[in-house]
Structure 1
């Protein structure tokens, strides 16, 4: 029997925490699918990350239990999510193969952090550009996460805003981000640092830009200054400022209107989720819903 050195043995508490988080993700996925997956749908978006594995498992189980002839096509947000779809025996379709004018019935995706107004940070898995494409092509974007992602303000726990940039513009973008008040923006390294920067599916770089916690629309309405003074920004203003930098493809802030609100105005989908499902440490699932309109419900 091999005896590991004490400092290399996984602690019981660490293993318990890992199991707790994974179970929280699983329960959140099951609940979200039970309330938002329509087996008669023609197209469904599938996001990236570890939580989405449980969403796909739950969808597969619904199809199996109801003995449904599966004609649904699933739109992935990247290579990893496509493999999850394929491994589940479901049918993927590329985003740019969707028929003109057709919307996804729903898009399920995770998040790195979600605030109390359902603004999200995404891009920890480097798929933020395709994630935003899919979210804004869906009638509703449903976020699925564990309790660690549930924060009152963005950049409370998650350290930075992911930004997808053209490689040749990376240094220019970093300089511009410093001017906006980010203290130490940097290009994200690959798994092996010696192999160079991480590359997205678009062959772009990811720049991670830390900022102070971001103000919500409610904060601004209540008189707080989110114009960037002293490095304090509100979410929408910062997102717009970063998006305007030459060389930026997309910003990992999902803000503005949700699908309900956008469609009410004659548009398509929105960047913000219509609901966020958080698997909690006690085995429950907390749901934060945006009703058609602007109000939020937490159950």
Structure 2
């Protein structure tokens, strides 16, 4: 175990490892995108390698697909799988009702499609992602490049009537150029600070011409697994109302910690 692994990375790892324990043999599983989801793919690969777990992954981005291939996790497309047993993914924020903000990794469109095509969505996160009200993390909105400035103006106009604290909207950049998603779209980041009615905002955003999808995941997440830097893990099931406290032994193999450039 690397001695310099941060408490946040330890929390991400233990949450990922506990979530991967929920996967059963022969499941088809959506594989999320981002730093926490990368730990999940590594933990899943360890189960495939060490236990002979038979699983098929459906990646939510090109970089997750590449990581899964490098680690030996079998993958397929959503079109071939059609329906999934479970999706495991990270989140930028989650509230007490397990509503989410996602899209910090610019993969929100594929992530939402895959998550809604699953029997269950499991979110893995460190404790810092839990909030009483969504909005501190900028809300990503995927838009088509054509007329994006017009779309941005329409979003800004719409926000005047919404229950939000702030209304700044910025185009996400990649150096000197706009960031381009896997679907060749742009991302607008809405710096709202507080979202009073996430359900309403999600519905109104998707009615704006040029908007492809937004990063509010409402009534999609079923379980959240919250990791802590000391190995503690809390699992909350929104459907049953049950909470499970546990601990994950922090003794991963060298293969999990190999830097594969994710």
Q: Which interval holds the TM-score relative to the shorter structure? A: 0.7 to 0.9
Structure 2 equivalent of residue 8 of structure 1: none
- Output the CA distance in 2 between the equivalents of 1:67 and 1:245: 47
**What is the CA-CA distance between 1:84 and the residue it aligns to?**
1.4
Normalized per residue, which structure has more helix?
1
* Residues 291 and 297, structure 1, Cα contact 8 Å, conserved in 2: no
**What is the CA-CA distance between 1:111 and the residue it aligns to?**
0.6
* Residues 37 and 89, structure 2, Cα contact 8 Å, conserved in 1: yes
* Residues 172 and 178, structure 2, Cα contact 8 Å, conserved in 1: yes
Structure 2 equivalent of residue 56 of structure 1: 41
Structure 2 equivalent of residue 109 of structure 1: 89
* Residues 170 and 187, structure 1, Cα contact 8 Å, conserved in 2: no
* Residues 147 and 281, structure 1, Cα contact 8 Å, conserved in 2: no
Structure 1 residue 65 and structure 2 residue 50: aligned? yes
Secondary structure of the residue that 1:22 maps to in structure 2? helix
Structure whose CA Rg is larger: 1
Secondary structure of the residue that 1:244 maps to in structure 2? coil
* Residues 44 and 73, structure 2, Cα contact 8 Å, conserved in 1: no
Structure 1 residue 189 and structure 2 residue 173: aligned? yes
- Output the CA distance in 2 between the equivalents of 1:282 and 1:211: 32
- Output the CA distance in 2 between the equivalents of 1:92 and 1:57: 14
Q: 1:93-141, CA deviations, whole angstroms, 9 ceiling, x for partnerless residues?
A: 122333xxx4211111001111111000000010000000100011101
Q: What are the ranges of 5 or more consecutive residues in structure 1 without an aligned counterpart?
A: 1-14, 216-233, 257-271
Q: What are the ranges of 5 or more consecutive residues in structure 2 without an aligned counterpart?
A: 161-165, 246-262
Secondary structure of the residue that 1:164 maps to in structure 2? strand
Q: Runs of 4 or more off by more than 3 Å in structure 1?
A: 295-299
Structure 1 residue 119 and structure 2 residue 99: aligned? yes
Structure 1 residue 76 and structure 2 residue 59: aligned? yes
User: Of 140, 145, 149, which residue of structure 1 is paired with 2:125?
Assistant: 145
How much is the aligned-residue C-alpha RMSD, in angstroms? 1.8
* Residues 9 and 229, structure 2, Cα contact 8 Å, conserved in 1: no
CA 1:296 to 1:241, structure 2 compared with 1: closer, same or farther past 3 Å?
Answer: farther
| TM-score, with structure 2 as normaliser | 0.85
Structure 2 equivalent of residue 221 of structure 1: none
